[in-house]
Amino acid sequence: MCGIVGYIGFRRADQVIISALKRLEYRGYDSWGVAVKHGNSLEIIKRVGAIGDVENYSLAEGNVGIGHTRWATHGKPSEINAHPHTDCNNQIAVVHNGIISNFQSLKEELESRGHKFSSETDTEVIAHLIEEEYRGDLKEAVMKAVERLRGSYAIVVMHAETEELVAARYKSPLVIGVGDGEWFIASDVPAVLDYTNRVIYLEDGDVAKLWNDGFTIWNNGKEVERRVETVPWSIEDAEKGGYEHFMLKEIHENPRVVEETLLEYLEDDIKIDSRIFAGISDILFVACGTSFHACLVGKYLIEGLTGIPVRVEYASEFNYSNPPLSRTLVVGITQSGETADTLEAMRKAKKLGMRVLAITNVLGSTATRVADHVIYTRAGPEIGVAATKTFIAQLIVLYLIAAKISSLPPTEIEELLEELRNIPQKIRQILDREDEISSISNTFAGYENMMYVGRGIGYPVALEGALKLKEISYIHAEGYPAGELKHGPFALLGEKTPVVACVVRDKTYESMLGNIKEIKARESPVIAVADEDDEEIEKFVDYVIRTPSTIPLLTPLTYSVALQLFAYHIARIRGCEIDKPRNLAKSVTVE
C-alpha cells in the first residue's frame, strides 16, 4: 500500500526521491520521510500529511537515499511512526511496504536484549534485526534478517558507512529502475518514469544490491538473472494533462482505453488463446473491490453467452474456504497485479491443481508470474485511487472472453462485436453530456445516504456506482438488487435517501419499473440511468441520466461511465480530495 523509493547515482538523492514520492502518493499519503547519506551519517526528515502539502524541507547533499510515503497499518500517522526507521545508532535506515505479522514477538525478543524502540510500527523491528546481523556486509545482514520475518514486505535499506542500497521483497511489489549510470528502486513504475522506462520486476524471495557500477540479485542465496522490461507508458500518461483531477482525466480516457484494448485483441477474430478454456467444467472468479464488480458482470456475460457455470467470490473470503476440486478455471482479476488477497487466492487455486488465468493491467506484476495464463487490459497507468478506466478495460476483456467461447451462432457474436466497436463513440457522447450530469450531481451533493439498485446485469453496475460514490464523496451508499429492497432496506427509504436506479431495457425492465414505483411510494427521490430511447422512464422518476442507445448486454459500459461522472461531480461539489480519498490507497498489498 505504501510508496517506497531508493536512489543511487550522480544526482542529488533528496530531489530525486521527493519527486518520485509525489508520483507514488496514490499508494499512501498519511505521512512521508526521506533519508540521505551525507558523509558517514544519515540525515533524515519526516513529515505528517501528503508530501505535496510540504514545500519547505532541507537535506544535505548526497547521492544515495531512500524515501517513503505511508498508508498507516501499525500506528497512527505521526512523525515518529513515519518511515524511514532506524536502528539504535541511527546507522541503518529502512523503508517498508507490507505487514510483518510476527513483529510483536520479534520486538519483545529484541527489547529483552536491550534494543529501544520509539515507534508503534512493525517496520522498526527490521532495522534492529539488521543491526544485530551487521558485520560489515549489509546484503548479508539483510538476508539473515528477512529470514526471521513473517508476513509481507518490500524493503529498501541503507547504511551510513556504505555507498549502496539493499532491497528485498516477499508478497509486496518492488521494481528496479535501470538508468544510465544511476539506479532506482521503487514500489511502482511511475516513480521512475521521469528518469527511465527500463525496469526489472523483482520476484518473491529476491534480494538486490545496488551500487554505483550496477546491481546484483540473489534468491535463496544464489545469484539470479531478471529480465529488463521496457515500460509501455510515458511520463505524460502519469500526469494530469490539464484536468483538475487524475480521476476526471482517467474517466475521459475511457474511449481510448476501449479502442486500444479492442485493437489489441480484436481483428478478424478474437486474439485470445482458446486453449485457456479447453476442457473446463466451470469458471471461478476471484477479486476485490471494483474488480469484483467486473467479475459479476463477467458472470452474466459468460453464463448468458456460453452456458458455462460461473461463480464469483471475494478473494479475501476464498482464502478461508475449502473449494471442491474440479475442472475449474480460476480467473483472478487485479488492476495492479499486486492485490494481496487476490494473489493469495490464485496461489491457493494453483496448489489445489486448478488452472489459473490472470486479468491485469500491469506488465511483469506478481499476478503474471503466479498465473498459468495472462490477459492484459492495456489501460495505461491509473493514478486516481478510485478505479475508472481500468474497470472499463476489464469489462472489455470479459466481453471478448465471453464472445470467444460463446455457443451462440457466429452471426449473433459478430453483431455483438460490431456494437462493441461502437462503444468508444458512445462513451464520448456521454462525456459530451458531462454538464448535464454535473447539474444532476449538484442536486444530490448535500445528501448523506444513497442507494443504488439494478436487476440482472444492471445489479453489478449499481454496486460499482455505489462504491465510486462512497469512495470519493464519503456519502454512505449501498448497492442492492432492486427486488431485495422490500426484504429489509425499505426501512431506510424516505425523502432523505435518494435512489439511483440502473434501468436496462431487457427482460428485467418491467420488474424494475415496478420496483421504482415501490421506491417512489416511500418518497425517496429517484435518479434513473437509462437508454436515451427509453420514452417511459421519465414518467416514473425525478431525474434521468441518459446514455446512448446500445444493446442491453453492453449497458454496463455506458452506464458505468455515466455513474463515474455522477460520483466525481458530487465529490467535487463537496470539496473532497478526489484522487486521494481518506483511508484508501491504490494498490492494496496487505491482506
- The catalytic site residues sit at 2, 586
User: What does the alpha-carbon distance between residue 71 and residue 82 come to, in Å, rounded to a whole number?
Assistant: 10
Return the number of other C-beta atoms located less than 10 Å from residue 45's C-beta: 19
CA dist list (Å): 224 to 209, 212, 363: 12, 19, 20
Amino acid identity at 293: H
3-state DSSP assignment of residue 428? helix
Q: Is 320 exposed, middle or buried (0-12, 13-18, 19+ CB in 10 A)?
A: exposed
Residues 6+ apart with CB under 8 A from 269: none
User: What is the DSSP annotation of 181-224?
Assistant: S-EEEESSGGGTTTT-SEEEE--TTEEEEEETTEEEEEETTEEE
**Phi, psi (rounded to 5 degrees) for 319:** -65, -15
Q: Max CA-CA distance within the chain?
A: 79
- Per-residue cell: 84: 524511514
Q: Is 522 exposed, middle or buried (0-12, 13-18, 19+ CB in 10 A)?
A: middle
User: What does the alpha-carbon distance between residue 277 and residue 247 come to, in Å, rounded to a whole number?
Assistant: 35
Would you tell me the crossing angle of helices 458-473 and 289-306 to the nearest 10 degrees? Answer: 170
3-state DSSP assignment of residue 501? strand
**Phi, psi (rounded to 5 degrees) for 47:** -145, 150
Q: What is the DSSP letter of 310?
A: E
Asked if 350 and 367 touch (Cβ cutoff 8 Å), the reply is: no
CA dist list (Å): 17 to 78, 98, 202, 341, 589: 20, 20, 20, 29, 21
Q: Cα torsion for 489, 493, 497, 499, to the nearest 10°?
A: 70
